[in-house]
Structure 1
């Protein structure tokens, strides 16, 4: 049995790279590409379990769409909670180089020498953030927005499932069947088929807050609605997985899993999802005031990673991840405890009381080495 090394080469499609002979595209966030194994593979579904308020998941969606605008990819945007055309109004503007940190929040930043021991001064700093030096994808500035003229020049398809509802056999909720029919119509174009030699287009599908209360069936009683609510969502995700097969398209979906009454719904959805992450925001929780998490805005959990065309799965550099939303960028970093670099009177008192009494009656402050 022969073993071939995973080679990364240039792809014929703009904004993509070949890895294991499969096109990969960037999510728009270098740190997210790094922890997921190099980007989003074609014909895959990437899901985000939203935070409670949904603010941070919308930021990730804007990065994904902004990367498509810069790479001249075709976009498909669907949302039942708001007008899909409004989502592209405030996409972050690309920058030519990585943004510098606009605040001092990393450990040891601003300190010339370590206060632990002199022999540790020559050691290299631990890399807490990811993807800052990558050449794949683009860097964006959240404080600036892409102008409307650039957005209008791209091929964008908007879908509001509440309009022109159609019924498909097997779905009780017409919103899911309408969205599925529209996606199938777009994907049927030959330019997105991976088997075609002259394909030069890549499609980015963005579905926002699928499974929210807006997506519940309104034409049935409450008991029947609860029974079919999860079934239609699971069936929709499976059908979308089949449609994306052998296409140059990737689906970026946000799911408010915290609103589901049944925990098994999200577990069954993961069978049809390739990559999935969960955002845990500190807003409104006890962790918001905890000094351990003072440098972060929430925890970033990786729930599933795919291994396309590979025998060896990708292992992230760390599973203890946290995120912070700065004025200009979104960062995913290793979660680490802040060091205590200054001696305080409380700590000295704790150290003194922690030492058991001895026959000599010496205290810590009386000992001099």
Structure 2
């Protein structure tokens, strides 16, 4: 009998790792990489359903682009709501893991007193990705140096500036964006079958299907039904276009605008590998609920896929929440806060529950 030792293959593309013989890259947030199965796979589409105001989805987009600059990946930035060049100016600065968080955790452990029977149990990991070596950490309170950004190859795409009409599309914005992406991914350096594939293309599409895209349908005299058809067709064409390429797409979609047409988002999920949804507490009744006082919103996983594997990835928990601190964005398990304050009734119950030392029971000590 003979056997061979499995040797872990190393990826030739910087900032990536091989998993199931497929390059994976980091999203820039270690906790997000942990809950979706280790990162973003090449040739894959990661969709983020935006919160109503879109504030937190922009933060995740900046993480994705900042990770690409640190790893020296090529970037493709597309946005119809604002100038894509303005997005790159507010990327977070790379840094190491903040020491203040580690010290606060250790200090809390020293002060905490628990029963001896629970001391041998393993600790429950509430925040993910702390011990991983994949990806980088960033400081949201500081912006990345402009000189560092200039060293990266960046392609900007504003669908409003030029118009290309493709067969099958009614909205010219989708045609323009799809034509620009096809031109970018068709380069030889991004082909997975090529010997010169030594780089990865990160494609960021912000607010795909926003009211700007709807307004274009109205300007061209189209009804609302064509809007959903073009969006679904765009995602399908994009999926086919990414085959055999070292490129990954990070797209944010305002799905709350499709409440009247729920089938639109369900059909879009067929062309997506991983999808998550952000539910912000801003402006809702949950904002004042004491249960969620330590978080800024809920984090829902709507679709997960494991390419080149028969075993699906199971996240550590589906009850997830997020918080945006001054320096970083965290995804954690949703824990109910303990009741730390004792009421006067609880104290009275504790007094009456203790039996008298001597002299027997009195009438006032007996309650029915």
Q: What is the TM-score of this pair, normalised by structure 2?
A: 0.89
2: CA distance between counterparts of 1:6 and 1:253? 36
Aligned to 2:31: 31
Aligned to 1:172: 170
Query: The residue matched to 1:170 in structure 2 has which SS?
Result: coil
> Which residues in structure 2 correspond to 1:1-369 (within 5 Å)?
9-98=9-98, 100-101=100-101, 109=108, 112-114=111-113, 117-216=115-214, 218=216, 220=218, 224-260=222-258, 261-345=260-344, 347-348=346-347, 362=365
| Change in CA separation of 1:122 and 1:333 when aligned onto 2, cut-off 3 Å | same
Asked if the contact 2:207/2:252 (under 8 Å) is kept, the reply is: yes
Asked if the contact 1:217/1:229 (under 8 Å) is kept, the reply is: no
Query: The residue matched to 2:117 in structure 1 has which SS?
Result: helix
2: CA distance between counterparts of 1:15 and 1:38? 13
Query: The residue matched to 2:251 in structure 1 has which SS?
Result: strand
Deviations 1:242-285 (A, max 9, x none): 00111000000000000113111100100001000000000111
The number of aligned residues is 355
Asked if the contact 1:204/1:249 (under 8 Å) is kept, the reply is: yes
C-alpha displacement of 1:220: 4.9
The CA RMSD measured in Å over matched residues stands at 2.8
| Change in CA separation of 1:8 and 1:137 when aligned onto 2, cut-off 3 Å | farther
Query: The residue matched to 2:88 in structure 1 has which SS?
Result: helix
Asked if the contact 2:217/2:224 (under 8 Å) is kept, the reply is: no
Between stretches 221-230 and 262-271, larger displacement belongs to 221-230
Deviations 1:301-359 (A, max 9, x none): 00000110001000000000000000111000000111123423254479999xxxxxx
Asked if the contact 1:83/1:160 (under 8 Å) is kept, the reply is: yes
C-alpha displacement of 1:152: 1.3
| Change in CA separation of 1:52 and 1:347 when aligned onto 2, cut-off 3 Å | farther
Mark the runs of 5 or more structure 2 residues left unpaired by the alignment: 353-362
C-alpha displacement of 1:134: 0.4
| Change in CA separation of 1:363 and 1:153 when aligned onto 2, cut-off 3 Å | farther
Q: Which has the higher helix share?
A: 2
| Change in CA separation of 1:112 and 1:331 when aligned onto 2, cut-off 3 Å | same
